[in-house]
Amino acid sequence: MHTRTDYAPMHSKIKMDEYQHLTGDQFIFNEYWDDRLLLFSPVYGILVQIHTVYLNFISFSMIDFNADVAQFHPDLIACRRDLHQHPELAFEEVRTAGLVAAELRKLGLEVRTGVAKTGVVGILEGSSDGPTVMYRADMDALPIQEENDIDYKSVYPGKMHACGHDGHVAVALTVAKVMARHRDQIAGRIKFVFQPGEEGAGGALAMIKDGVLDDPEPDFALGLHLWQELPFGTVGTAEGAIMSGSSTFQVRIKGRGGHAAMPHTTVDPVVCSAQLVTALHTIVPRRVNAMAGAVVLSVTGINTSTYKHNILPEYVEVLGTFRTFNAYTSELIEQHIRDVSRAICESMDCTAQVQVKHLTIPVVNHPDVVKKLRRVFCRFMDEELLDNTARTMASEDMSYLLEDIPGMFLLIGTANPAKGLTYGHHHPRFNIDEAALPIAARLMCEALASYVIPNHC
């Protein structure tokens, strides 16, 4: 839908053109202006000439990635929908990996399969030497029964692409197709990494163990997540931490069970757990400085060793998670969980066994990479649509790939209330605005080109 009715100055029209392309409305926009060209042909003819001269002036050193992506647009959508219909869980991405490997081979990339079981790596070697830039996309789906009423609904019961990884794969394949076209201009190489098992399954670490960061060693790493917390048309990034690290804890409160009618003869772990849950929830606002890397701590489950109205159980398990933006805060919270658990349990004659597991570290962007790519993106997108302070408590194991390699992780806005696309990640009715897919592809092409195509300014 277009509300623009005036003729903007030429420079901003070019920017607007680009933006319309960027936001996926390119085809409608061109038809719109073509219609008006007939009505205003004398004036518009002159404007078009100036426009063409201007574009010729600037295009000698620029590749029109927008046009490239637009050409692959039907394949991009078809690929995403095919993957959406055929979701595969962590380390079971056999069909997906097969499709990815076949596409990459068709493009003439050097392809490695079976990296961390179902992972695929494709190397697009340029025509001269230069940096190696890694672009990672994750492939796995979730154990969720899809409730969307769409014609490309999951055909596998209890499995669903409810996080957008179908789109990640489709976008990365489109970027591979576009960049392969410009192989002659590439100085260096692009390492496309299709990762299995991102959803808490340790896929990134498994790939690192299988050598994904060697031969060739990446100089930079890029990745993105289609993001339902941001409105369609916007893009989020941040210098430093953009996604939190994730840890889980479990406290087993051991008491002494017995008859519920004679609680004084028992050591009741249920009452103890109630006090512990309350105390754990005070750690974040009361024991940790709110400025020390924003944190969340949630108790997510309580299990009793028996579940009957007249039995006091022997033990109770309290389960939870916490998220932080730095390792120091993470260690601090772990220590508080241990201290609070021990103190509360001792005060009620119970004992506490505490287990803490750090699942992922925070996703940390390199400030120099963010600064550079922000400049690149602002050449063709409205600065106001680029949120430089995006941060989320969700986690991503791209963090491990960015741990020692400077890079950037982007969040691409996909929510669109006008289309009813508001359900969040991991919801049975999660779905994205597909118009965000070409935006994501364009941004990644531009980002990669800024590293490996020397004359692409």
Phi, psi values for residue 18, rounded to 5°? -60, -40
- Active-site option among 166, 198, 268, 434: 198
Q: Which of these, 358, 361, 339, 342, lies nearest to 350 by C-alpha position?
A: 342
- Find the part of the chain contacting Zn ion (CB under 5 A) among 44-52, 162-170, 185-193, 231-239: 162-170
Question: Hey, which residues between 389 and 418 contact Zn ion (CB under 5 A)?
Answer: none
| DSSP label at residue 139 | -
Q: Judged by CB under 5 A, how many residues of this single chain contact Zn ion?
A: 1
Which one, 163 or 172, has the nearer CB to Zn ion?
Answer: 163
Q: Which residue has the tokens 């079976």?
A: 114
Q: Which of these, 152, 193, 159, lies nearest to 176 by C-alpha position?
A: 193
Residue type, 310: N
Which one, 163 or 230, has the nearer CB to Zn ion?
Answer: 163
Token couple for 112:
């490695």
Is 34 among the catalytic positions?
A: no
Contact by Cβ (8 Å): 220, 401: no
Token couple for 154:
């999951």
Is residue 182 classed as helix, strand or coil in its secondary structure?
A: coil
Residue type, 233: G
- Active-site option among 140, 268, 396, 446: 140
Which one, 137 or 253, has the nearer CB to Zn ion?
Answer: 137
Beta bridge partners of 267: 256
Report CA 205 to chain centroid distance, whole Å.
16
Residue 77 touches Zn ion, criterion: CB under 5 A: no
Which one, 361 or 453, has the nearer CB to Zn ion?
Answer: 361
Residue 163 touches Zn ion, criterion: CB under 5 A: yes
Which one, 411 or 448, has the nearer CB to Zn ion?
Answer: 411
Which one, 164 or 188, has the nearer CB to Zn ion?
Answer: 164
Residue nearest to Zn ion (CB): 163
How far apart are CB 401 and Zn ion at their closest, in Å?
A: 14
How far apart are CB 86 and Zn ion at their closest, in Å?
A: 17
Phi, psi values for residue 82, rounded to 5°? -65, -45
How far apart are CB 162 and Zn ion at their closest, in Å?
A: 7
- The DSSP result for 192-239, as a single string, is EEEES--SSS-HHHHHHHTTTTSSSPPSEEEEEEEEEEEETT-EE-BS
User: Which alpha helices (DSSP H) does 236-393 contain, by range?
Assistant: 269-280, 327-347, 367-378
Report CA 317 to chain centroid distance, whole Å.
32
Token couple for 409:
């992780």
Token couple for 106:
């068709």
- Find the part of the chain contacting Zn ion (CB under 5 A) among 10-18, 44-52, 157-165, 287-295: 157-165
Quick one: 301 exposed, middle or buried, by C-beta within 10 A (0-12, 13-18, 19+)? exposed
Which one, 163 or 369, has the nearer CB to Zn ion?
Answer: 163
How far apart are CB 112 and Zn ion at their closest, in Å?
A: 23
- The DSSP result for 107-123, as a single string, is TT-EEEEEETTTEEEEE
Which one, 143 or 301, has the nearer CB to Zn ion?
Answer: 143
How far apart are CB 198 and Zn ion at their closest, in Å?
A: 6
User: Which alpha helices (DSSP H) does 23-90 contain, by range?
Assistant: 26-39, 41-59, 65-71, 73-85
Contact by Cβ (8 Å): 69, 445: yes
Is residue 251 classed as helix, strand or coil in its secondary structure?
A: strand
Is 140 among the catalytic positions?
A: yes
Binding site for Zn ion (CB under 5 A): 163
Write out the catalytic residue numbers.
Answer: 140, 198
